[in-house]
């Protein structure tokens, strides 16, 4: 009988793959045109933290990683961090390890980086 930990691992990996595949299909389709414009940018003229997120996702789906990084470096680094967390999770489950690289203050660092990036790109 399979351990509950393995079942959870498999379900998480399947969910990640389904999300990636559905995102890829959506970003490559004509339905991408239904994504609304940024309300904050329309009303204030300022870029919100997520502005150009759709363009970033399209470039990632087209495997233009350099262009995606230049469009939104914070999102790019966040994706790399999430991939690292997933790899560590896989190592923990498959090799029965207890490696924990995630700390609560990582969220504060990411939010701070996003705020600083948003301020700087609205100034320059």
What does pTM read for this prediction?
Answer: 0.83
* Nearest in space to 39 (alpha carbons), one of 50, 26, 31: 50
Kindly list the distances between the CA atom of residue 85 and the CA atoms of 38, 100, 102, in Å, as whole numbers in the listed order: 30, 9, 7
Residue 8 has pLDDT above 70, yes or no: yes
User: 36-62 pLDDT, tens per residue?
Assistant: 889 999 999 999 999 999 999 999 999
Predicted confidence band of residue 2 (pLDDT cuts 50, 70, 90): low
Give per-residue pLDDT as tens, 68-121. Answer: 999 999 999 999 999 999 999 899 888 888 999 989 999 999 999 999 999 999
Mean pLDDT of 20-27: 91
């Amino acid at each position: 009988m399979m351990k509950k930990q393995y079942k959870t691992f498999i379900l998480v990996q399947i969910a990640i793959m389904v999300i990636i595949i559905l995102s890829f299909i959506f970003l490559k389709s004509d339905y991408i045109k239904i994504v609304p414009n940024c309300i904050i940018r329309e009303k204030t003229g300022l870029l919100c933290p997520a502005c150009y997120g759709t363009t970033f996702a399209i470039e990632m789906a087209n495997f233009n990683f350099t262009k995606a990084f230049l469009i939104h470096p914070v999102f790019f680094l966040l994706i790399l961090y999430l991939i690292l967390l997933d790899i560590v999770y896989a190592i923990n489950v498959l090799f029965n390890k207890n490696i924990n690289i995630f700390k609560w203050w990582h969220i504060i660092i990411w939010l701070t980086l996003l705020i600083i990036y948003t301020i700087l790109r609205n100034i320059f």
